[in-house]
Structure 1
Amino acid sequence: MPEGSAVALTVDLAVFTIREGVFSVLLVERGVEPFEGAWALPGGFVEPSEDAESAAWRELLEETGVDRFEGHLEQLRTYSAPDRDPRARVVSVAHVAFAPDLPEPSAGSDAAGARWWAVDDLLDGGPDAPALAFDHAQILRDARERIRAKLEYTTLAREFVAEPFTLPELRRVYTAVWGVPPDLGNFRRKVLGTDGFVVPTQDRGAGGSAGRPALLYRRGTARDLQPPMLRTSTPREE
């Protein structure tokens, strides 16, 4: 805890991926007070020589062993409730990341453990889900919604399927993140009707209907979806 300041600045990082078809987030088990033994998002205090993003990457490496990776990263929002940290007045700049093929974490620094958790179990009342430290449940809820929305108006979901891929494989990415499958007709119209979303190959793979192998695709160059591909229904929120 930095001394000599009325307000301390921290960072928290919600790192998401898809593991075996499950939308997952990286948490650490706190090894020090406050909330020793509780699970939390990776994060910590910003050092005088750092900006917030540099501190987020440093804390991620120190607490989980996960180094800087290629993928989507952006600031989520600032959390500044006066009582969010029992030690002092602490303001957190939260970041959200979403990337494929992230490694198994290893605990370090002041973390007693680190592992991937199913996001929906944590937020929607899974039987073994722990209570999160600080206000991290709220940060995680906001971060989940940011990623869900990101898939509505960008082509980010393509990064989570190996090329070449089928449309059913791509649709399962949306299902994992949204918690509900996208409407099949709207999904096909948006993916196939958006120039540069996917590029068809001449090959076929598994996953077709009526016994016919599905067409295989590669990623195109499009980044944004206008109009967006909206969720057909909203999963239950706490």
Structure 2
Amino acid sequence: MTAHAAAVQVAVSTVIFALRPHEDTGRMTVWLPLVRRIRDPFGGRWALPGGPLEPDEDLAESAARTLAETTLLAPQYLEQLYAFGNTDRSPGERVVSIVYWALVRSDEAAVAVETENVRWFEADSIPGLAFDHNLIVDYALWRLRNKLEYSHIAHAFLGETFTLSELREVHEAVLQKSLDPANFRRQIEGSGQVVPTGDVQTGGRHRPARLYRYNRDAADGTSGPLAWPAAPAQGTT
């Protein structure tokens, strides 16, 4: 390293996914909040919430602070996703971004502020973002869809109890495809991942639906929102 080598800066960014209705079809899809940059580089472009790591902050503290400052969101769980550090990702300087992700329920997402510079976008239809943030969002979506197939991660979009119809709606929204209700029920009940609570959902017009919860005795061993309220993992996943 030469004496003129530039110092490496560390930034922390966060991808937050929530399920919201599609504006045209009304079907639930995956959305995320973005913030508009107000300075160069990429002034005026949309980007993930985030900013430089302050000297006195832990990584998770930095992610939580920038989210609160920009969107008012305070997810119950932040999981470290990956580190992005290509040499050309930020013009004129070397920046390594530690990226966190969070999945929030609809009621949690409803408190997020929306302004001229903070807006929700459908995750699969985002514009060209600043830096390499399109790549980061693509990676986070891939991780979400991959983990949905083998883990309890769908739990993060639901309450402690849920109906199988609600669980299927989460799978359909994330995977972007319709699932046969009968087959889905057989697969979920046969997997042992969920157990009936003995209660039913009330207040609907139809026959009350059975309520389920995730079977923590059949934990899949993966880190993620089912670890609540454990501390966030510090390694990348």
Q: How many residues are matched?
A: 208
User: Is contact 1:153–1:224 with CA below 8 Å preserved after alignment?
Assistant: no
Displacement of 1:202? 5.5
TM-score computed with the length of structure 1 as normaliser: 0.75
Instruction: Kindly indicate whether the alpha-carbon contact (under 8 Å) linking 1:10 and 1:43 is maintained by their aligned counterparts in 2.
Output: yes
In the alignment, which residue of structure 2 is the partner of 1:14?
15
Q: What residue ranges of structure 1 are gaps of 5+ in the alignment?
A: 123-129, 227-238
Which residue type is aligned with residue 35 of structure 1?
F
Question: What secondary structure does 2:90 align onto?
Answer: coil
2-structure distance, mates of 1:90, 1:204: 49
CA distance in 1, matches of 2:185, 2:220: 13
For residues 167 and 114 of structure 2, the distance between their equivalents in structure 1, rounded to whole angstroms, comes to 32
Q: 1:188 to 1:172 in 2, by over 3 A?
A: same
- Partners of 1:90 and 1:141 in 2: how far apart? 20
Give the letter for the 1:178 counterpart: L
Larger relative contact order, structure 1 or 2 (CA cutoff 8 Å, min sep 6) = 2
Correspondence for 2:155: 158
SS state at 1:133 partner = coil
Deviations 1:84-109 (A, max 9, x none): 0113011111111112122343379x
Distance verdict in 2 for CA 1:58–1:161, change over 3 Å: closer
| Stretch of structure 1 that moved more, 132-141 or 73-82 | 73-82
Cα RMSD after superposing both structures:
2.9
Give the deviation of 1:221 after TM superposition. 3.2
- 1:125 aligns with none
Measure, in 1, the Cα distance between the counterparts of 2:110 and 2:97: 26
Q: Percent identity?
A: 37
Match of 1:126 in 2: none
Mapping 1:131-210, distance limit 5 Å: 131-161=128-158, 165-182=162-179, 184=181, 186-195=183-192, 197-201=194-198, 203=200
1:69 and 2:86 aligned? no
Q: 1:164 to 1:46 in 2, by over 3 A?
A: closer
Relative to structure 1, the CA distance from residue 32 to residue 198 in structure 2 (aligned partners, 3 Å threshold; closer, same or farther) is farther
Runs of 4+ in 1 over 6 A off after TM superposition: 204-207
Cα distance change, pair 215–138 in 1 and its aligned pair in 2 (3 A): same
CA 106–5 in structure 1, closer or farther in 2 if over 3 Å, else same: farther
Correspondence for 2:212: 218
Distance (Å, rounded) in 2 between the aligned partners of 1:29 and 1:204: 41
In structure 2, list runs of 5 or more residues that go unmatched: 22-27, 222-237
Match of 1:236 in 2: none
Instruction: Give the structure-2-normalised TM-score.
Output: 0.76
| Greater Cα offset, 44-53 or 183-192 | 183-192
The AA in structure 1 aligned to 2:34 is L
Q: 1:81 — aligned with what? A: 86
User: Counterparts of 1:103 and 1:165 in 2: how far apart (Å)?
Assistant: 19
Cα distance change, pair 162–56 in 1 and its aligned pair in 2 (3 A): closer
**In the superposition, relative to structure 1, how do residues 185 and 225 fare at CA in structure 2: closer, same or farther (>3 Å)?**
farther
